[in-house]
Amino acid sequence: MDLVDCVRRTIRRYDLVAPGTGVVAAVSGGSDSVALAHLLDALDRSRECRLIGLAHFNHQLRARADSDEAFCASLAESLGRPFVVDRTNVKDLARRERRSIEDAARTARHEFLERARLQLGADVVALGHTKDDQAETFLLRLLRGAGSRGLGSMHPRRGAIVRPLLDCRRSELEAYLQAQQIAFVHDETNDDVAIPRNRIRAELLPLIEERFNPSIVDVLAEEAELARDEHLFLAAAARDASRLVVSTDGRCWKLDISALIALPLAVRRMVVHQVMCEAAAGRPLRFADVERALDLTGNKGVPFDAPGQRVERIGADVVLTGRPAGATGRTARATNLFHYPLSIPGEVAVAEAGCVVSAEVAETFELDAIAGRDGVAAVRLDKNTGALAVRNRRPGDRFRPFGLGQHKKLQDFFVDRKVVRGHRDRVPIVVDASDRIVWVAGHSINEDFRVTDPAQAVIILRLKAVGGSV
């Protein structure tokens, strides 16, 4: 089977694209992504999809990053496709936001790809991950410790991201390019075995292939698919069971013990994990945290603090009470956390703050019409990544207040603004799907979302007091 047929089979198997689907190919210049662009171009010519353009994100991490960018631009030109590019100094970004370089790079790259998709009017973004990448991811997560969700590794489709090369071997892609004399670049950071994934690629997988199983890449890719399907099945069963087990007001979750213990252990564990993840609000959970919560359903176990929550047995329920990171005891119970989704267009009543926050899209607007109005803000629509939400502050919150030109802790911003200490937890904060602060309602937008062109489509955010208090 040639590579085009292999990709065609993967696309049909997972329903990734259709003849009318607009696709953006994410390209780095490496063999996988260059092959991806050419294979999608072939499918476009046979009218099995529409290759709308190519997108490249320059992380500015390597000396040859700019030449890789230029290579990708020439690749797009050779295919006669539009080219979208953006660049960020990821090392500086990671330092400013106190995140790992890998995490900062992944987040920045995916945010760019979504912007590129919208800019080009495409339906999906295609990534060049291969069967080898899938096997490496499986081993990496196995060694770090993961359940079926983690071992499921990379999904063929997740949202607007598709991976049509997951059934292709990296060596097959390189052979395809060499046979057609198609150039690609080599990323020297892939040779650094100090990076865990590279060490698995260069040392562990070759050892297993030589000593144990020459087909290990195929086996691990199949294991990933089995784990992914099992997780999806269990997760759906747990969501159905939660209707009978869990009640919540958004700040406190009660699990009915008698209903919980009637479930099979795997579903029981998944229900508890889902609820604890919701209460953790993005903080990582361990297997041991879930097991300690399950211990409370019997005659063993004691109350404990898990990431983002207090877990205890109260009567016939296991009760999870949300709390800020690092808060315990009386402090944890005193803070009145809130977090509400905000649709666009739409509005949400925030009872804790005595206000209503609304959002609507405006294709045109007059900046002067909202200047100086604390209860109204205009932010860039193209900077928004997914749904909005309204919440109150969390430990570690930082943003770039309008006009300041640098990041600032939200706590310090409130001090500078002379916001009364007792009111700070009630200030509504609009955040995007990545939990980036968009607007500190009534005070300042994030400079990253500032409108720079009157012709840009914007989101108009409004804050309205209810009962005279905000």
State residue 322's pLDDT score.
85
State residue 330's pLDDT score.
44
| Residue ranges of domains in the chain, CATH in brackets | 3-223 (3.40.50.620), 249-332 (3.30.465), 339-465 (3.50.40.10)
Q: What percent of the chain has pLDDT over 90?
A: 53
State residue 298's pLDDT score.
85
* Higher per-residue confidence, 46 vs 330: 46
Q: Write the pLDDT tens digit of every residue in 88-108.
A: 888 888 888 787 888 888 889
Model confidence band, residue 261 (pLDDT cutoffs 50, 70, 90): very high
Contact partners, residue 70, CB within 8 Å, separation at least 6: none
* Higher per-residue confidence, 420 vs 119: 119
Q: Write the pLDDT tens digit of every residue in 105-129.
A: 888 999 999 999 999 999 999 999 9
Give yes or no for a contact between 414 and 427, defined as CB atoms under 8 angstroms apart: yes
State residue 180's pLDDT score.
92
Query: Which of 214-228, 316-330, 333-347, 374-388 tops mean pLDDT?
Result: 214-228
State residue 402's pLDDT score.
85
Assign 3-class secondary structure to the chain: CCHHHHHHHHHHHHCCCCCCCEEEEECCCCHHHHHHHHHHHHHHHCCCCEEEEEEEEECCCCCCHHHHHHHHHHHHHHHCCCEEEEECCHHHHHHHHCCCHHHHHHHHHHHHHHHHHHHHCCCEEECCCCHHHHHHHHHHHHHHCCCHHHHCCCCCEECCEECCCCCCCHHHHHHHHHHCCCCCCCCHHHHCCCCHHHHHHHHHHHHHHHHCCCCHHHHHHHHHHHHHHHHHHHHHHHHHHHHHHEEECCCEEEEEHHHHHCCCHHHHHHHHHHHHHHHHCCCCCCHHHHHHHHHCCCCCCCCEEECCEEEEEECCEEEEEECCCCCCHHHHHHCCCCEEEECCCEEEEECCCCEEEEEEEECCCCHHHHCCCCCEEEEECCCCCCCEEEECCCCCCEECECCCCCCEEHHHHHHHCCCCHHHHHHCCEEECCCCCEEEECCCEEEHHHCCCCCCCCEEEEEEEEECCEC
Instruction: Choose the weakest-confidence range: 72-81, 127-136, 375-384, 407-416.
Output: 375-384
The helix-helix angle for 90-97 and 101-120 (nearest 10°) equals 120
Give me 258's structure tokens: 């008698």
Residue 385 has pLDDT above 90, yes or no: no
State residue 119's pLDDT score.
94
Model confidence band, residue 175 (pLDDT cutoffs 50, 70, 90): very high
Residue 33 has pLDDT above 90, yes or no: yes
Tokens 């199983």, located at residue:
213
Q: What percent of the chain has pLDDT over 70?
A: 93
State residue 165's pLDDT score.
97
Model confidence band, residue 367 (pLDDT cutoffs 50, 70, 90): low
State residue 336's pLDDT score.
62
CA neighbor of 320 nearest in space, from 390, 246, 379, 386: 246
Q: Write the pLDDT tens digit of every residue in 178-235.
A: 999 999 998 777 888 888 889 999 999 999 999 999 999 999 999 999 999 999 999 9
Tokens 């747990």, located at residue:
238
State residue 184's pLDDT score.
94
Mean pLDDT score, 418-430 = 85
Residue 332 has pLDDT above 50, yes or no: no
Contact partners, residue 36, CB within 8 Å, separation at least 6: 25, 26, 27, 126, 127, 128, 164, 165
CA–CA gap between residue 445 and residue 432 (Å, rounded): 12
Give me 24's structure tokens: 């953006």
Mean pLDDT score, 278-302 = 86
**In whole angstroms, what separates CA 94 from the centre of its chain?**
16
Tokens 């840009």, located at residue:
456
Q: Write the pLDDT tens digit of every residue in 59-93.
A: 988 888 999 999 999 999 999 999 999 998 888 88
Residue 262 has pLDDT above 50, yes or no: yes
Q: Write the pLDDT tens digit of every residue in 294-313.
A: 999 987 778 888 988 989 88
Task: State how beta strands 124-126 and 22-26 pair.
Answer: parallel
State residue 51's pLDDT score.
97
Mean pLDDT score, 360-382 = 71
Query: Which of 332-346, 352-366, 437-451 tops mean pLDDT?
Result: 437-451
Measure Cα distances from 204 to 120, 132, 173, 208, 211 in Å.
Answer: 40, 13, 22, 6, 11
ω before 345 within 30° of 0 (cis)? Answer: yes
State residue 468's pLDDT score.
46
Partners of 379 in the β-ladder: 459
Residue 372 has pLDDT above 60, yes or no: no
CA–CA gap between residue 307 and residue 433 (Å, rounded): 20
The helix-helix angle for 265-280 and 216-245 (nearest 10°) equals 80
